[in-house]
Structure 1
Amino acid sequence: MSQDPSHDRNPFEVLGLQGTEDLPAIRKAFLRIAAQSHPDRLRMKSPEEKAQALELFLGAKKAFEVLSQPDKRREWSERMARTKPRTPATPVTPPPEAPAAPAPLRPAFTPAHGVPVAPRPAFTPAHGVPIAPHPALTPAHGVPVAIPPPGAPSGPRPSSSVQPAAVALQLYKMGMVALESFDYAKALDLFSKATKLAPTPRHQAMELVCRGHQYLSTRFFDRARESFERALQLLPECREARVGLELLDKQSGRYLKGR
């Protein structure tokens, strides 16, 4: 296979991938890097940090453009599969040696008159009745305790009282905290999980708002506008979607003036 002239480094490694991901996973990895290293997000950083972030952003963008082509993506995936180190073969261990035959037992000790000593009977209390084995432990009411079968998991069983709606509410609260911290990738993951547990219009709208912010950070203005408008269709009172549209109009206007 010929060397790809359009990309010097492995684009899968640039995006932190394993080489077997599909296009949606590749896009998600690129958006995560772009949201952290885009120049518009680093206004308060030093010139050195801005230069490093810009280099990281351009490398991720170039890697995404290469992997967006099906033939290039398949070519790099096959190349990574061939260059992965093979797992070392399991060393062959010699079979364990057979245990030595036990030494023959000595004959029972006999006293001076030559009569063998009989083995002692099991210990019995003073009244002469042999001790019976202990029965299975039973509680106070007399019902035997069931013994779990071998291999059964120990410990208390998980409670089924936790409702999916309660878990979705906790994920939604955590997603709002991440959204207020401008961590759109984390917020999108939390809102997506909340939507799977409880597909309410609020959860779905906030998932679209986070997608719109990610598109906005990479200057995909058309996709960002589509995400914010779909969020308003699901939830007309969604304040976050309206704020996103206002921010979109400002950034797209500045971008058009700069061009």
Structure 2
Amino acid sequence: MAQDPSSPDRNPFEVLGLQGTEELPAIRKAFLAIAARSHPDRLRMKSPEEKAQALELFLGAKKAFEVLSQPDKRREWAERLARARSLPPPPIPRTPPGPVVPPPIPRTPLGPVAIPRTPLGPVTLPPEAASAPPRPAFTPVHGVPVTSPPRPGTAPAPASRGLPVTPPPRTGPLPAAAALQLYKLGLLALESADYAKALDLFAKASRLSPSPRHQSMELVARGHQYLSTRFFDRARESFERALQLLPECREARLGLELLDKQSGRYLKGR
């Protein structure tokens, strides 16, 4: 409840809305501001209750101004206000909280749980496992790897490390048959004037089966390749080397005849 402004126990600085450190000019200014709002001559249109409250406020401000107009009283009330403000506020009584009790958790009784069991029949082993002999227990000694004996019906394990392993027998065509097949393909490429392909096929056949026939045909294909690019000297050298390897090489002789014709035409044209 608010204290009465006209009460002698109330600090006049608080009545005028001051801080307690103001001098007389500031005190007079605060009093005139309150008087301008609450003087009875300015409250003609107000109700009787409002007029009574304003009159009480005006009388309290007037009495506070009269007290603070005296230097001794002003100093005394300023010190009292300063002491009142320096005091700590009274402690607020607190009630200790009671213990927190959690709500009970409802529990439903659990009945016995029946686990279904199925009867186990006799265990039958496969015929291989029943007929196989028991495997002995092996333990490695001094870092030597131990291999278990092979099971019946399985392929033998490969040889251990450090021992030579023989490769399986080769099942592809023999080198002579493969070389013959490459030679026939080279003849077809030579007839179709695909000299690069023919040279590659004859070279492979010569590597598989280094016979004079294969080597001479490789030189013939090389000579035709030189002839197609007008390297007449190199073409002649290839054809002549083919005749040295195989004198009965008909392809080399035909290549020399073709070389003479093309070189003659080229010289006439120049």
Q: TM-score range by the shorter chain?
A: 0.3 to 0.5
Compute the TM-score of the two structures, normalised by the length of structure 1.
0.45
Structure showing greater radius of gyration is 2
Relative contact order higher in (CA < 8 Å, ≥ 6 apart): 1
